[in-house]
A and B are shown apart, each in its own frame.
Chain A
Amino acid sequence: MRDSPTHFQLTITGNEKVGDRFFLLSFENPGVSFRPGQFAMVAISGEPYPLLRRPFAVSRTPEGTLQILYRVVGTGTRLMSYWKKGRKVNVIFPLGNGFEKIQNACILVGGGSGVASMIALARELHSRGTPYLLCVGTKKSGELDPHSSVFQNPPLNVKFATEDGSFGFHGTVLDLAEQHIHSFTCAAVCGPPAMMTAFLERFPDVNAMFSLENHMGCGTGVCLGCAIETRNGMMRVCVDGPVFPGKILLPEHLK
């Protein structure tokens, strides 16, 4: 079940640092129904700067708390990192299609801020007892704390890869995924465009779903700022996605 997009003033219950550049923002849950992969458009300030809302994937803890795992990359996420418990945040939620219910063993591949989009799905598969493996890739150790509640509440089946080999598997998250992918019948992928393109090229026969992270103006389907060309014509990442089957994506348009 998915509710239709609504305005909420959500109260922050925590904003915990969970790595060098990642924070875990928790909200009181107003009782929304949503699917993993659906996202929220978060207003950073009530002022004209920064102007646009920021899109973030939303997950739910076993206790029902809403969470956004975010990586500090620019102005908006830097301002968010100063947010304190009790603050009210204006969000439009839930948006986008989200992942369909996955019935078969699935490998989840997240690189950089794309890890966040995989958390909600991993938590759902975990609670339903569907076999899964979450592969997390960062450049070096410390970027994302493996002992944090992101991975421990509930305790997810997760493996880490670092590009410099300082923690977990030495290599990219795709190198890590390659070692395990034969045990799964489907894949879910989110990361920088180059990583998603590389996945399409390296694993062309894998039944994979991609969660795209395009820049968004509205998040509600009205501006066409996020639109991309696919094998099924022009599509809006914010309402027709952000989750797309790999077979309709055109690698040259994954920007």
Chain B
Amino acid sequence: MTLEIETGGVQLSTPILPASGTFGWGTELKNLVDYSALGAVVTKGISLHPRKGNPQPRLLEVPCGLINSIGLQNPGVDAFIQNYEKELSALSMPVIVNIFGESPQEYAEVATKLSNCHWVSGLEINLSCPNVHAGGLEFGSNITGVRDVIQAVRNSTNKPLWAKFSHSTHLFHLVEAALEAGSNAVVLLNTLPALAINIKSKQPVLGARRGGLSGPPLKYVALRDVFDVYSRFKCHIVGVGGIIKPEDAVEFILAGARAVEIGTGAMVHPELFIKCRNFMSEYLKNGSYESVENMVGLAHDDQHV
């Protein structure tokens, strides 16, 4: 029986991963997280140039969820490599670096720089980033944006690519464009667009006004998207959104994901990673499954022989 699974070109020792932006640059939680639970680490988003991110307040707790507007704060790809290369290359697991840019060229430049790093196992491409040349429309919201970014990155590196999406009503077309342009897997979902208003100040609560919703409310949307995309494409999927207990992670695998990422849930309870790994092992054992692979997509009728 094994938890190992190849996902989007990356060999994972377990299907349990942290979600970008909730696990720092990958090594901050060494004292609090049992890294043997993790199939890979996933870094926060990296861009070509440093970014200060958004003004405070950046977080708002809402019932059972979180709205954040961190604003993709990061030191830029050069400082990232310089500051974190040593620690990240010492990890015994794959490192997935999450990247974003303001133009397809920027994504490609970041990818080129990371392509030269032997310790980078794959790139997760955050498509929920405004395209400055298209009036701030997110790349991931239209087929052209997705195709341009993934193609540009594909032409810059041979590393495995995971295209990460937010929910969209035309997700099928977007996923298709990403796969055609050379993405090895899709990651579903990024946060949902969200807003909260302070009725005293009559202004949005967050410093950047708009934010993204994560945590339990997202789970059922993400699960549905994983289920639908799997049934349509049978492609490699990483499921993300609202996992706060081990059973949630199993649901994503049954819906068709080959791995899951845990964000908000593990940011609050770092012990969730090891709980998920142990539960997944038990679940395999109890069901007499040889590997996680045998569990993928079991919620689909046509998977039952």
Contact = CB atoms under 8 A, between A and B. Distances in A.
Interface of A: 4-7, 43, 48-53, 90, 92, 214-218, 220-229, 234, 239, 253, 255
A227 B58 contact: yes
Contacts of A43: 268-269
A220 B32 contact: yes
Interface string B253-287: 00000000000100111110000000000000000
Contacts of A226: 58-59
Contact of A5 (B23, B32, B264, B268): B32
B65 A224 contact: no
Nearest to B75: A234
B68 A223 contact: yes
A53 B53 contact: no
A221 B28 contact: yes
B21 interface: yes
B130 interface: no
Contact of A224 (B60, B70, B207): B70
Interface in B55-81: 55-61, 63-66, 68, 70, 73
Contacts of A90: 269
Contact of B215 (A4, A48, A234, A253): A48
A4 B22 contact: no
A222 B24 contact: yes
5 shortest interchain CB distances as A-B pairs: A222-B24, A225-B59, A48-B64, A4-B31, A255-B56
Contact of B58 (A218, A222, A224): A224
B133 to A, nearest CB: 27
B244 interface: yes
A234 B52 contact: yes
A220 B266 CA distance: 11
14 contacts: A5-B31, A6-B32, A43-B268, A48-B215, A51-B61, A51-B216, A52-B66, A217-B59, A222-B28, A223-B68, A224-B21, A225-B70, A227-B53, A228-B56
Given A227-B53, A253-B56, A51 B264 contact: yes
A255 B22 contact: no
Contact of A234 (B44, B73, B267): B73
B261 to A, nearest CB: 14
Contacts of A255: 55-57, 207
Nearest to B263: A223
Given A6-B32, A92-B32, A221 B24 contact: yes
Contacts of B57: 215, 255
B215 A222 contact: no
A5 B22 CA distance: 17
B134 interface: no
Contact of B65 (A51, A218, A227, A234): A51
Contacts of B216: 48, 51
B73 A218 contact: no
A222 B216 CA distance: 19
Interface in B160-189: none
A227 B215 contact: no
A222 B244 contact: no
Contact of B268 (A7, A51, A215, A228): A51
B268 A52 contact: yes
B29 interface: yes
Nearest to A255: B56
Residue in A222, A229, A255 with the greatest tally of chain B CB atoms within 10 Å = A222
B56 A224 contact: no
Nearest to B65: A51
B56 A7 contact: no
Given A5-B32, A92-B32, A218 B269 contact: no
B270 A220 contact: yes
B66 A217 contact: yes
Given A222-B29, A224-B53, A229-B52, A51 B66 contact: yes
Contacts of B31: 4-6
Contact of B267 (A6, A50, A223, A253): A223
Given A229-B52, A234-B52, A223 B21 contact: yes
A208 B207 CA distance: 27
A217 B216 CA distance: 15
A225 B24 contact: no
Nearest to B60: A215
B267 A218 contact: yes
Contacts of A217: 22, 59, 66, 68, 264, 267-268
A220 B29 contact: yes
Nearest to B63: A49
Contact of B22 (A215, A222, A228): A222
Contacts of A253: 55-56
